[in-house]
C-alpha cells in the first residue's frame, strides 16, 4: 500500500515537472538556444537571412542568379505562387510586412505563427529571440521597398499569376519491350 501511495505521489510530481519543462521550453526557447554574435544586430541579421535561405523564396531571381541580386532588392517578395494541397501561397514582401511591428511584436508573431507551406516555420520557431530580433533589425534597415505580394488563394479558386506546382509525380510506367 505504501509503495502504491508513494508511487502515486511520485508520478504526480513527475507529471508536474514534465509539464513545467514543456512550458519553460515553449516560453523561453532562447535560454538554451545558441545565437549569432556579430558586430551589430543588423550584421547578425544579414548573416542569418543569408544562411537561412530567406532570399531563395522571398527575393525574385535570387536562386536563378546564384544569389547575385543587390541587397536593395532583397526580400521584396515574389509574385509567383507555390501551389499544393494548401492552395497557392506567395513569398511575402517582408520589407513591407515588417513595418507594422516593433521588434518585440515581431518575436511574438514569429513564435505564434505557423501558416502554410513551403515557408519553413519550424526553422523560424527554432531561432532564439536574439536571432529573431537580429533578423528584424536587418530587414527593417533595408526600408519598405517593392510592391505588395498577391494574396493567398485557397484550394480550388482561380489563380491569376504564374505558379509552381508542388505535387509529387509518379514516373510514367515503361512500355513493355
Ligand atoms: C521555401 C520557400 C521559403 C523560404 C526558404 C522562406 N520563406 Fe518565408 N514564406 C514563404 C511563403 C510561400 C510564405 C507565405 C505563406 C502563406 O501565405 O501562408 C512565407 C511567409 C513568411 C512570413 C509571414 C508573412 C505573412 O504575410 O504572414 C514571414 C515573416 C517569413 N516568410 C519570413 C521568412 C524568413 C525570415 C525566412 C528565412 C529564415 C523565410 N521566410 C524563408 C516561403 C519561404
Per-10-residue mean pLDDT, the chain, length 177: 43 40 44 88 98 97 96 98 98 97 96 92 94 98 96 97 95 77
CA dihedral over 123, 124, 125, 130, signed as positive or negative? positive
Nearest-atom number in ligand 1 for the CA of 135 is: 35
Q: Where do the structural domains in the chain lie, given as residue ranges?
A: 37-155
15-31: pLDDT as tens digits: 444 333 333 344 445 56
- Please tell me if the CB atom of residue 127 comes closer than 6 angstroms to any atom of ligand 1: no
Mutate to test the pocket of ligand 1, among 91, 110, 142 (most ligand atoms within 8 A of CB): 91
| Nearest Cα residue to atom 13 of ligand 1 | 91
Q: Residue 112's closest CA among 91, 95, 82, 132?
A: 132
pLDDT 10s digits, 60-73: 999 999 999 999 99
Amino acid at each position: 500500500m505504501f509503495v502504491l501511495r508513494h508511487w502515486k505521489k511520485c508520478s504526480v510530481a513527475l507529471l508536474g515537472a514534465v509539464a513545467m519543462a514543456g512550458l519553460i521550453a515553449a516560453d523561453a526557447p532562447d535560454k538554451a538556444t545558441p545565437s549569432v554574435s556579430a558586430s551589430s544586430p543588423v550584421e547578425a541579421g544579414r548573416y542569418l537571412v543569408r544562411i537561412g535561405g530567406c532570399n531563395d523564396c522571398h527575393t525574385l531571381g535570387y536562386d536563378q542568379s546564384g544569389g547575385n541580386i543587390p541587397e536593395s532588392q532583397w526580400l521584396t517578395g515574389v509574385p509567383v505562387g507555390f501551389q499544393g494541397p494548401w492552395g497557392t501561397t506567395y513569398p511575402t514582401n517582408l520589407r513591407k510586412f515588417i513595418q507594422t511591428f516593433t521588434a518585440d511584436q515581431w518575436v511574438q508573431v514569429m513564435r505564434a505563427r505557423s501558416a502554410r507551406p513551403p515557408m519553413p516555420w519550424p526553422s523560424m520557431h527554432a531561432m532564439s529571440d536574439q536571432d529573431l530580433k537580429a533578423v528584424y533589425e536587418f530587414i527593417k534597415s533595408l526600408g519598405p521597398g517593392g510592391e505588395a505580394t498577391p494574396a493567398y488563394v485557397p484550394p480550388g479558386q482561380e489563380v491569376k499569376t504564374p505558379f509552381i506546382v508542388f505535387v509529387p509525380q509518379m514516373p510514367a510506367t515503361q512500355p513493355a519491350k
